[in-house]
Chain A
Amino acid sequence: MSKIVVWVVFALLYAYPLFEGISNLIALPPFYAANGIGNAVPWWLLIIGVVAPVLLYLAALWIGRGRELFARTLILAVGLATTNALVLSAVSWAGAVQPALK
């Protein structure tokens, strides 16, 4: 029971970076196109933003399978922190590789 509570709570915590990633994927290409740099969309960074939360959540569940509750929770927390670090890295890379707006 407590196992499921941990899963659900962390699913919600992982959901926000996923939501951010999806909204970036939807909003950034039109923004770039409107500013004349439509061919410079950093697709790989946008894809990381969407894939990382899902992949790390599933990986944390898989690594934690069969372990006690503390270990499962710790692994999910590590995955969450890693997800957020990756999202911030992707955002900073996107800013670094963005050409000047026309």
Chain B
Amino acid sequence: MARASQPPPEDDDDALRWAGDELRGGVDPLTRNRVAEVPASGVDTVMDATPAPLGNLARTAATVGFAVVYLAIVVGWILSVQITGSTATDVFSQVAWQFGEFVAIISGALWYLAVLTLTPDSRTAVRVGWFALGVGVLVPWPILLVVAS
């Protein structure tokens, strides 16, 4: 089946130019967003980005490092809930127990995300303190006790 006649291919860039731009000496959106060619000499290349403060490096390192630790905590809790079990027989207790196991699994991820989102402007020590507190509280003891025994 023949398709409806399509408009001839044209220069897509035309849509981003106004007629007369060149005459007015204006800069059209297309060329404005293009990276200017680096001059061959390279002498008058100016860095306009300020280098990141040194404190950010430690902050980023802590944030990334604790991400690994919290990932381990989540894995630890996934393993932990395999070996904990409820002796309850009624449906409500079983559902409540399952819910408890589920939130224990996501506890590490929740704690990490909460610290990440709620301490954007805090000092690095404050952020690290909250991270460290979570690691201490959320130790996946069920699996550790089994491994240790």
Min CB gap B92→A, angstroms: 9
Is the Cβ of A85 less than 8 Å from the Cβ of B84?
no
Quick one: which of A56-102 are within 8 Å of B by CB?
67, 71, 74-75, 77-78, 80-82, 84-89, 91-93, 95-96
Min CB gap A80→B, angstroms: 6
Contact stretch, chosen from B17-25, B45-53, B54-62, B111-119? B111-119
B69 at the A interface (CB under 8 A): no
Look across to chain B and name the residue whose beta carbon is closest to the beta carbon of A92.
Answer: B142
Task: Pick from B84, B104, B107: contact of A78, CB below 8 A.
Answer: B107
Q: B-side binding surface: helix, strand, loop or mixed?
A: helix
Min CB gap A15→B, angstroms: 10
Q: Contacts A17-B100, A78-B111, A80-B103 given: A86-B145 contact, CB under 8 Å?
A: no
Which residues of chain B come closer than 8 Å to A75, judged between CB atoms? 114, 118
Look across to chain A and name the residue whose beta carbon is closest to the beta carbon of B84.
Answer: A88
A31 at the B interface (CB under 8 A): no
B78 at the A interface (CB under 8 A): no
Min CB gap B93→A, angstroms: 9
Q: Contacts A74-B117, A75-B114, A89-B139 given: A81-B145 contact, CB under 8 Å?
A: no
Is the Cβ of B117 less than 8 Å from the Cβ of A84?
no
Given contacts A75-B118, A78-B110, A95-B145, 20 further A-B contacts (CB under 8 A): A16-B96, A16-B100, A67-B118, A74-B113, A74-B114, A78-B107, A78-B111, A81-B104, A81-B110, A82-B107, A82-B137, A84-B103, A84-B107, A85-B107, A85-B137, A88-B81, A88-B84, A92-B80, A93-B145, A96-B145
Query: Nearest 6 CB-CB pairs, A to B?
Result: A81-B107, A89-B141, A92-B142, A84-B100, A81-B103, A85-B104
List 27 A-B pairs, Cβ < 8 Å: A16-B96, A16-B100, A17-B100, A71-B117, A71-B118, A74-B113, A74-B114, A77-B110, A78-B114, A81-B106, A81-B107, A82-B107, A82-B137, A84-B104, A85-B77, A85-B103, A85-B104, A86-B137, A87-B100, A88-B81, A88-B100, A88-B142, A92-B84, A92-B141, A92-B145, A95-B145, A96-B149
- B residues engaging A (CB < 8 A)? 77, 80-81, 84, 96, 99-101, 103-104, 106-107, 110-111, 113-114, 117-118, 134, 137-142, 145, 149
